[in-house]
Structure 1
Amino acid sequence: MKHLLLVDDDAQIRELLRYVLSKEGYRVYEAPDGLEAVKKMQEAAIDLAIIDVMMPGMDGYELCDHIRQNYDIPVIMLTARDQLSDKKLGYENGTDEYVTKPFEPEEIVFRVKALFRRYHRVSSDLIRMNRIVIDRQNIEVSDGESVLLLPMKEFELLSQLAQYPGRLFSRDELIRLVWGADYEGDDRTVDVHIKRLRQRFADYADDFAIQTVRGVGYKVEVKTH
């Protein structure tokens, strides 16, 4: 299930889009402004953001720029402005699509589906953390000289964390994303697999680290050289 984030200070627009997008099978998160959206993205693994331009605190342009600096997800920008200069500013800040209000809800659905198809085609199968390269297509991890063989669940767990460096994942999220919603074990299995990954990559502490946020979960921090 894809996770979408709606960011708009108009509760009616959020309600309308939540309804039509939920019907399409998406899980929808909401935020009334950019600052709250930043928090939501730290808490949940968002796959696509739909954001309004004019918002208090942090406007849509600033939020789009923040997303581009920290995440690799598609962005649809909503605005009442239809000036070419405004659209230019939106695209310069990294938006993928620009939709002018008023709009038909079905148009958003079409654009969401199109963006997911586009991102699926062009998204890289390689995740780089300095010397460590994760090849998701061939299910391999290498350090530039040799291939490191990992059990499948360890590979999937590392890939999930590394795909979103700096983003905190709860144990429940990782269970759902890696083991599946129907997994009947407890979340201690995440701790066990994290311990194994840390042991395997102990010699690569200068490249990345798996950080524990006590009582919550884990995140990957990629070291800057």
Structure 2
Amino acid sequence: MGTVTHALPDRHPAGASLAVLDLGAAEPVRVYLGGLGSASTVAFAEVTGHPELAGHGRHILIDLIGSGWSDHDDTFGHTIDEHARTVIGVLDELALREVTLIGHSLGGSIAISLAAQRPDLVGHLIVAEPNLDPGSARSPPRSPPPTRTRSPRPATRASSTSCSKPNPNTPGRWPAGPPAPCTAPRSRCWPTARQRFAHSWPPSPNQAATSPANAQPRT
């Protein structure tokens, strides 16, 4: 594998190393650009070794900045046009013209941008799954999600006719007769244990003696 050092224009004075795999010789010259985060030197190696292509022309596989075996550069913007300019620098350094430029996914968008910037470098353009309107490599900002409001729940209260209640004139005692069936939520009704002592009124002596209100503490 050969390495070409190319200074990123107006970005990094020392330059960043681009990994370039140069295979074969003579014409035609095919240049391969991989997708986002892909190592072209690995992804296209099987393609260049195909019997229909191996030994026929020259194959140049380029890893983009920040991908594969190429350097990462925090000062690099990683836009499609910037990636295209770095590839242009490699082709100029290798003195190549009218190459067959092959790009997949992000590499296809970079290939389109390269062909628009330097049509003299591209003889044939082959792209697979590119963004045909490359523009910027950065996605547009997303709008915030809509605000959801919840309507308040109406308060549910048990009416005096839906649950049995203590007699207000006699605290702690139940009204005469068995308790009415509770139709409100259980949390709003009196506990079932209290209702066990309200089957009759007034209570019998045995019932009054066993009522929780008259229970004596154990010693």
Q: TM-score, normalised by structure 2?
A: 0.26
Which protein has the bigger helix share? 1
- Write 1 or 2 for the structure with the bigger share of strand: 1
Larger Rg: 1 or 2? 2
